[in-house]
Amino acid sequence: EVQLVESGGGLVQPGRSLKLSCVASGFTFSNYGMNWIRQAPGKGLEWVAYISSGSSYIYYAETVKGRFTISRDNAKNTLYLQMTSLRSEDTALYYCARQEQLRYWGQGVMVTVSS
Amino acid sequence: DIQMTQSPSLLSASVGDRVTLSCKASQNIYKYLNWYQQKLGEAPKLLIYYTNSLQTGIPSRFSGSGSGTDFTLTISSLQPEDVATYYCYQYNSGWTFGGGTKLELK
């Protein structure tokens, strides 16, 4: 069974940093590209970042480019999102999702940016 | 960047109704479009991929159609468990979600 479990969220002050993790199981993690997608409270879905299976290709939404860094450790079956210079508008539920149609999603981890 | 516009934003329908949700792309995305269902408090679930391919386990009352810039998700006979927000998603150039259509029971 495919499972994606996010962690690392919490309350953080504006301008500070936070690192999210997504641990994958039930499939060969190193074979798939991965995404981070977020959803602000009461709002729609926003694609945030993508990383290819071997980390050769990385793309970001304009809203986070230069502040967020997506990475992965295939030996640990883990996807990461390093978030810096956080803003109130980054407050959201962050999901990791497997590429290939976004067929599988985690349950999400909440990030709240507030003073 | 490709923009995705869904309409209506809110749809009220009765059990048994045939329901049609619309999604329009700002430029040609061929058939690179998926539909997701998100129920309250849950992660999104893939319903339809590549415009009209039904994901395994999804009831056959769901169907998708379209190409280019205009796409449709149809529920042939609305069931109470279909109450949710539905999102379209393009992956032809970058990745973009539509704003969603909230479907409620009348």
Mean local confidence (pLDDT), A58-72: 98
Q: Is the pLDDT of residue A53 over 90?
A: yes
Which residue of chain A has the CA closest to B56? A103
Kindly report the number of other CB atoms within 10 A of residue B97's CB atom: 22
The 10 Å Cβ neighbour count of residue B98 is 27
* 10-residue averages of pLDDT along chain B (106 residues): 96 98 98 98 97 97 98 98 98 96 97
Distance of alpha carbon B63 from alpha carbon B76, whole angstroms:
8
Q: Taking residues A8-29, what's their average pLDDT?
A: 98
Q: What is the pLDDT of residue B27?
A: 97
- Looking at chain A, the whole-number percentage of residues with pLDDT higher than 90 is 98
Q: Is a pLDDT exceeding 90 seen at residue A104?
A: yes
Contact list, B100 vs chain A (CB under 8 Å): 44-45
B89 at A interface, C-beta within 8 A: yes
CB contact at 8 A, B58 and B35 = no
Q: How far is CA A51 from CA A25, A54, B33, B44, in A?
A: 17, 8, 20, 20
Round to whole Å and give the CA distance between A3 and A97: 10
Res A100 pLDDT > 90: no
3-state secondary structure chain B: CCCEEEECCEEEECCCCCEEEEEEECCCCCCCEEEEEECCCCCCEEEEECCCEECCCCCCCEEEEEECCEEEEEECCCCHHHCEEEEEEECCCCCEECCCEEEEEC
Q: Is B87 on the interface with A (CB under 8 A)?
A: yes
Residues of B in Cβ contact (< 8 Å) with A37: 97
Alpha-carbon distances of A35 from B29, B59, B74, B85, B94, rounded to whole Å:
20, 27, 27, 21, 12
Residue A7 has pLDDT above 90, yes or no: yes
Pairing of strands A3-7, A68-73: unpaired
> Which residues of B fall within a CB distance of 8 Å from A95?
43-44
Q: Which of A50, A62, A106 sits opposite B43 (nearest CB)?
A: A106
Residue B96 and residue A62: Cβ atoms within 8 Å? no
Cβ contacts of residue B98 below 8 Å, gap of 6+?
Answer: A44, B4, B5, B6, B23, B87, B88, B89
Name the residue among B95, B99, B100 with its Cβ closest to that of A47: B95
Which pLDDT score is estimated for A52?
A: 97
Shortest CA gap A54–chain B (Å): 19
